[in-house]
Amino acid sequence: MHIRFIDAFASLPALLQSALEPILRHDDFPAMLTAQQVSQLRLETGLDDTALAFALLPLAAACSLTPISHFHVGAVARGISGNLYFGANMEFSGASMQQTVHAEQSAVTHAWLRGETRLASITVNYTPCGHCRQFMNELNSGSELAIHLPDRAVASLGEYLPYSFGPQDLDIATLLMDKVDHGYQTSASDALSQQALAACNQSHAPYSQSHSGIALESDSGKIYGGPYAENAAFNPSLPPLQAALILLNLSGEDCLKIRRAVLIERSDPLVSQLDATRATLSALGCQQLQHISL
């Protein structure tokens, strides 16, 4: 079992521990459960979907990186496929506060990057902040997304964010998690550049059209892509580096051991990721950033 799960796992109810043990046994548990694994867990534990998602929160929170707050937020997003995706907050010492990733952003982005096309619900161990409510308001599930919190009745995002400002106010119809392919191409044929290109082609940048994507090579040699995800209110936008770091972290890899990165963006973009990406990567101890302009 990955070392980060050991304490949280020990705190789970005995039935859930025995049902999860074969799934978590290996180091490479991807911090998600397929719909089939979820049905099996329900069968073995007697928990319903809602109770199961709550019961998994300690494991999700165990994925957090919190050198600043030491405050562990965990989230579990349910895709329409029935798969569950963990999310956890991530803080980066030596970078600006703005580089922080919230657990809700992590779970949403995790689902998106693993190919989920829409979310049904999200379960969180603390009430989502305003920034997260606004971030989730960009999703194609719209105000229908169900939010489950401890000690509260389930309520929709629309209820958590009344009188909202969103993509429709700026006449934008393509929403976060909609399948897109911007069709950019590059002559760089190495695997890292191609993965960064794929992320760029998947990115959600309807406000600036400054599509971008990154790919990170981890300590183990695996590659993690991160597409940029803009938000109607601009500031809650998630930079491509953060998206890739979410996937790398949830996959059980070390954000402080990134070997190299390729960032791809349009030439002369209205919005550039380059300076912030370089600064945050450098705070993580990685100086190997290649920049490709399309």
- Closest separation in Å from C-beta 74 to Zn ion: 12
Select the residue interacting with Zn ion from 72, 102, 110, 266 (CB under 5 A): 102
Q: Does 193 bind ligand DUR (CB under 6 A)?
A: no
Q: Does 71 bind ligand DUR (CB under 6 A)?
A: yes
Q: In what order do the strands lie in the sheet with 74-79?
A: 32-33, 84-88, 74-79, 119-124, 146-148, 155-156
Q: In this chain, which stretch among 66-74, 138-146, 231-239, 277-285 interacts with ligand DUR, using CB under 6 A? A: 66-74
- Residue 212 has phi, psi (to 5 degrees) of -155, 160
Q: Does 89 bind ligand DUR (CB under 6 A)?
A: yes
Q: Rounded distance, CA 88 to CA 57, Å?
A: 9
- Closest separation in Å from C-beta 129 to Zn ion: 3
Q: Rounded distance, CA 89 to CA 33, Å?
A: 19
8 A C-beta contact, residue 157 and residue 147:
yes
- Closest separation in Å from C-beta 173 to Zn ion: 26
| Other residues' Cβ atoms within 10 Å of the Cβ of residue 181 | 8
Select the residue interacting with ligand DUR from 18, 36, 39, 69 (CB under 6 A): 69
The single residue of 104, 230, 253, 265 carrying the catalytic annotation is 104
73 binds, among ligand DUR, Zn ion, none (CB under 5 to 8 A by kind): ligand DUR
Q: What is the largest CA-CA distance in the chain?
A: 56
Select the residue interacting with Zn ion from 6, 43, 68, 129 (CB under 5 A): 129
Q: Does 63 bind ligand DUR (CB under 6 A)?
A: no
Name the residue with tokens 């976060």.
176
| Other residues' Cβ atoms within 10 Å of the Cβ of residue 61 | 24
Annotated binding site for substrate: 89-91
Q: Does 72 bind Zn ion (CB under 5 A)?
A: no
**DSSP 3-state of 97:** helix
Q: In this chain, which stretch among 77-85, 122-130, 156-164, 209-217 interacts with Zn ion, using CB under 5 A? A: 122-130
- Closest separation in Å from C-beta 193 to ligand DUR: 31
- Closest separation in Å from C-beta 98 to Zn ion: 13
Q: Where are the alpha helices (DSSP H) in 25-114?
A: 35-45, 49-61, 103-113
Select the residue interacting with ligand DUR from 91, 149, 182, 272 (CB under 6 A): 91
- 104 in active site: yes
**DSSP 3-state of 265:** strand
Q: Are strands 146-148 and 119-124 parallel, antiparallel or unpaired?
A: parallel
Q: Residues in the site for ligand DUR, rule: CB under 6 A?
A: 66, 69, 71, 73, 89, 91, 100, 102-104, 128-129, 132
* Active site residues per annotation: 104
